[in-house]
Amino acid sequence: MAEPDATQIVAGPGLLYVAPLGTTLPITDAHGEYPITWPTGWVAVGYTDAGIDATYTPTIKEIMVDEETSPVDDVLSAEKFIVQAKLAEVTLQNYNYAISASTFTSTPAESDTKVSVGSNPLTYVMVGIEGPAPGTNKLRLILVQKAIAKGAVAIKMQRKDKVVFSVEFDARKISGQPLYTIDDFGSSAS
């Protein structure tokens, strides 16, 4: 049995990024880049409240036969990967990211921004999470190449606490690509 290793304990915030479908993937230290380089198109949504949750849920069908009382095999019949966060930066751009059937418009000359919701085509996005990884000087990168924003989005304004937007990104499969990837990497100094 291996000895306990405190460098394998992870604590620290993550950063949530969103990009239009088909945007160039982030560059990692495979080419010497450290930390991650997020290409044009990727937007950090800013501060979150209570962190970022990324949950993988498989559905396993047990294979039974008449001659045995326990399953003899298993089949992966479905899988789901969901990224959830409460966005503390309550910009209309972030509100737009939280609703897939919305359109964001901005008129910089008039300092006017607007989100139109409903009767819009569904918009798919790419989602990235950058956070700490086990080890010294290491980062973890989680990438979803296609996702749809779903879930209820409420705006609650109150005197006792800040306003947040809840966002839930549900991964979608692209033929020939994984549902999502998770990669730990670090600087050459580690």
> DSSP string covering 65-111, please?
-TT-SS--EEEEEEEEEEEEEEESS--HHHHHHH-TTEEEEEEGGGT
What whole-number distance in Å separates Cα of residue 139 and Cα of residue 132?
A: 5
The overall pTM is greater than 0.75: yes
What whole-number distance in Å separates Cα of residue 29 and Cα of residue 17?
A: 18
Residue 5 lies in a domain: no
Q: Could you tell me the residue range of the domain that residue 141 belongs to?
A: 18-186
pLDDT in tens, 13-65: 999 999 999 999 998 766 555 678 899 999 999 999 999 999 999 999 999 99
What whole-number distance in Å separates Cα of residue 169 and Cα of residue 26?
A: 19
Total domains, the chain:
1
Residue 1 lies in a domain: no
- Cβ-based neighbours of 163, under 8 Å, separated by 6 or more: 90, 155, 156, 157
pLDDT in tens, 76-134: 999 999 999 999 999 999 999 999 999 999 887 777 899 999 877 899 999 999 999 88
Could you give the C-alpha distances from 170 to 39, 56, 113, 180, 188, in angstroms and in order?
23, 10, 26, 11, 34
Does position 189 have pLDDT exceeding 50, yes or no? no
pLDDT value of residue 176: 95
